[in-house]
Structure 1
């Protein structure tokens, strides 16, 4: 039979002691959630461990990167042909002479890019909606969207640029409708609209059917459901993927140099022919990197933020 606690004179029983690993707690302290002061909480130990792992990883990454950079800086100049390569590709005098003109030519790249993005967005969204339609009467539009995406995703961009950039002006159109700037932009818009349309369609299909059912239960039509429920969520989900497509578009604007527009790549080629030096191409590469690297980091930031929001 269990032994009853002995009663104190004031009528209250003495509180039994509860043993912990480092300290004796009374029953009242344990009920109130008091923790041993000597042992750190599990969350704090985990955070300290993760901090040590990150610190060690950063040190290893920094050391390895430093060693690789030092090896490149030390070994490449020891190559037998380094002097000729340095003169042809890294000529400081040629770089200073040509770089300002390359920046001016890059303004054409930016202009073509800014013309293309709104057109690509509108056309791609229309194609994605056409492919998502469930109305039998609109099946011809759905079939057109399927054929459009299959054709323009299956042809290399440079071939589309050649076919449209040389073919349509060959019809004898009056100015300015025979301009390579116009038809080069059209070639990029047609090609990238097919890719972006598939990205939009994947975002639309990622929305669960329960959202459409809930909208229908509230009395929304199919068009209103797509407009107010599905599209806002779908567009937000595909922003990082579309950012990567826009980065690729900014680089592919340079393909228009093959049909005549004097943008940065074409201007670098002109300087290369005049000066018999490849340094202008290095300058053009630096200009592209100054745009694409920040845009890529921003796209990575958007992807990481979406991952945190979903977790």
Structure 2
């Protein structure tokens, strides 16, 4: 009887305990579900907020894009209207005063008649340019090497090269031409006093542009990293061999665009040789202009120089772009 009572009491107690723990177990089991519901709700709220922000950003972007397109259209309209205004202004200038400007500078009949003589004289400009540029490349390199000689032993040559560069970069090219073209014949020197005016022009332009081009060479030489020079010297190269095989080839890659700029300037300055009596294209056009009281022949010379210079300018642009691309590739 006592054992039955104890068993019954144990069962009743176990049932009561189970009834008390069950809510707790149910609550614990519901916690992950509740957390999942909260997480999903939070994601929903964030999605709504990001959607509104994205819509607002899209509206702002569309507004900016619309504004950029409108600004671009406005600038295009301004550019084309300005170009049209300039063209109309030029046309009005050419038609002004019974087309006096057009007849003075663009007489097609005189241009046709004088084209042969001017083209023949223009070959003198080309010859002076080719000879001068070849001599300049060699002479400027010599001067640049002299300016970069190291040590105390190279000081006298460095001083002389610096003095030469300072002198001829300070003198206008036309004065150098005048002094050499009219001064050397007065010296009665065995060879120099009996040269042609074309030869005097070549000498003067070589001395003038040699000073400028030597600075271009020197900048290229000094741009070569000293470690490359040290590596060459450690291999047993002399200073001259290092310049020939390492420094100058590397320098030429970087100075090609400025060298071409000097080339363009030299081509234009060949017209200055008219001051010493050389019958070049400009001098020939002045003779024709004096005979016909018209400057159309000079316009022909201007067109020839521009036609010869523009391809060189485009070549400089291409060399500059190629150099920038190589630097970018090397940096990457």
Q: Distance in 1 between matches of 2:274 and 2:265?
A: 16
User: Does residue 148 in structure 1 map to residue 164 in structure 2?
Assistant: yes
Structure 1 or 2: more helix by fraction: 2
Tell me the residue number matched to 2:87. 70
Distance 1:248 1:82 in 2: 37
Residue 297 of structure 2 is matched in structure 1 by: 280
Question: In the alignment, does 2:258 pair up with 1:241?
Answer: yes
Instruction: Write out aligned runs for 1:131-280 (5 A).
Output: 131-172=147-188, 177-280=194-297
Equivalent in 101, 109, 113 of residue 93 of structure 1: 109
Unaligned runs of 5+ in 1: 4-20, 22-51
Question: Residues 217-237 of structure 1, C-alpha deviation per residue, up to 9 Å, x if partnerless?
Answer: 333332222221111111111
The C-alpha deviation readout for 1:188-208, integer Å capped at 9, x for no partner, is 100000000000001111112
Could you report, residue by residue, the CA deviation over 1:72-107 in whole angstroms, capped at 9, with x for unpaired residues? 34432453x362222221111111111121111100
Task: Give the Å deviation of 1:174.
Answer: 6.7
Distance 1:97 1:60, change over 3 A: same
The Cα shift of 1:65 comes to 6.2
- Contact residue 120 and residue 189 of structure 1 kept, 8 A: yes
Q: TM (normalized to structure 1)?
A: 0.77
Deviations 1:235-267 (A, max 9, x none): 111111010101110111111111111000000
Do 2:95 and 2:102's aligned partners in 1 also have CA atoms closer than 8 Å?
Answer: no
* Residues paired across the two proteins, number: 271
Q: Contact (CA 8 Å) 1:76, 1:82: kept in 2 or not?
A: no
TM-score, scaled relative to structure 2: 0.73
Choose 1 or 2 for highest CA Rg: 2
Indicate the larger mover: 176-185 or 58-67. Answer: 58-67
Gapped runs of 5+ residues in structure 2? 1-31, 33-46, 48-68
Give 2:120's match in structure 1, choosing from 80, 101, 104.
104
* Cα contact 1:268–1:281 (8 A) shared by 2: yes
Q: For the aligned residues, what is the CA RMSD?
A: 3.2
